[in-house]
Structure 1
Amino acid sequence: MKSNVLKKRLSLWAMLLSLAIAGAAYATSNGVDLSVSPEVSGTAEGQVRMPKEQDRMALNYVNQPPMIPHSVDGYQVTKNTNRCLQCHGVQSYRATNSPRISPTHFMDSDGKVLGEVAPRRYFCLQCHVPQADAAPIVGNSFTPAPGFGQ
């Protein structure tokens, strides 16, 4: 029994490795330089200096998760604690003058309203990212939706 499980796992890893190699070969053959490092400012290569606090940036499209206008260095978000909710939680947002967490964050995947933040919305940094005025790592031609991004 263990032998079959081991064979399946090895097959899966071999397939994933093959896909990664094929993807890199395809990108390289189509002129994509995989060794490009971003041009960023900061103290160490590859790190962007995050401002402690700044104005909120405009959204670029409907339902875009707002970006975080402050540093999150040292913030702890684990299954037992969420530093973001100390300021943005339902009981604390008024005292800290912070935006309140959206009511949608209290709904489970079936639309049922919960008494606390839904597990799928608990890890804030999976959708909300710190904003930085940094050069894009990969160039793109994205333009904000009409009426957005101003």
Structure 2
Amino acid sequence: MNSPVRKKGVLRTLAAALMLMMSGMALAEGSVDLSQSPEVSATPEGAIRMPKQQERMALNYVNQPPMIPHSVDGYQVTTNTNRCLQCHGVEHYRTTGAPRISPTHFMDSDGKVLSGVAPRRYFCLQCHVPQTDAPPIVENTFTPSQGFGK
């Protein structure tokens, strides 16, 4: 019998080999090195500015997490605090005018309804991203599902 430690070592080795193989294939195909892209700059002069507030963008596919139509600069989301819930939480959305957090965000992975936001849905920026009209870093040929994106 193989020990669990030995199995983990074998899995790590296989994962590392797969990553190396995939990166080699990407280089052979002439992939874009995003760290060298001239359109993206970490300097203040070239930084992409987020608008303070804008109209909400249309969704592009079923169950797409809505994009954030305002800047989130300085928002704190940690295990102890979530700035998003100060406007979007069930206690506040009526007074702030912000959309209410979806009921699905209160279900755990087993579908059990919780009294608070489920841990897997607590870190909003994992799924919801700020809108911007920044130019794409790489070519994008995605087209919205029929009836979406309008």
TM-score, normalised relative to structure 2: 0.83
Q: Which residue of 2 aligns with 1:44?
A: 44
Q: Which residue of 2 aligns with 1:126?
A: 126
- Structure 1 residues 44, 12: CA separation in 2 closer, same or farther (over 3 Å shift)? farther
Provide the identity percentage. Answer: 67
Conserved in 2, the CA contact under 8 Å of 1:54 and 1:69? yes
- Equivalent pairs counted in the alignment come to 147
CA distance in 1, matches of 2:45, 2:15: 30
Summarize deviations over 1:50-85 as a string: whole Å, max 9, x none: 111111100000100000011111111111110000
CA distance in 1, matches of 2:123, 2:147: 30
CA distance in 2, matches of 1:7, 1:113: 39
The residue correspondences of 1:1-150 to structure 2 (distance < 5 A) are 15-34=14-33, 36-37=36-37, 39-40=39-40, 44=44, 47-150=47-150
CA distance in 2, matches of 1:123, 1:48: 23
CA distance in 2, matches of 1:41, 1:99: 33
> In the TM superposition, what is the alpha-carbon distance from 1:13 to its structure 2 partner?
6.0
Please, which moves more after superposition, 24-33 or 4-13? 4-13
State the Cα RMSD in Å: 2.5
- Structure 1 residues 16, 46: CA separation in 2 closer, same or farther (over 3 Å shift)? farther
> In the TM superposition, what is the alpha-carbon distance from 1:34 to its structure 2 partner?
2.1
Q: Equivalent residue of 2:72, what SS?
A: coil
CA distance in 1, matches of 2:147, 2:39: 30
> In the TM superposition, what is the alpha-carbon distance from 1:48 to its structure 2 partner?
1.5
Summarize deviations over 1:86-136 as a string: whole Å, max 9, x none: 000001001111000001111111111111111111110100011111111
Q: Equivalent residue of 1:132, what SS?
A: coil
CA distance in 1, matches of 2:87, 2:43: 29
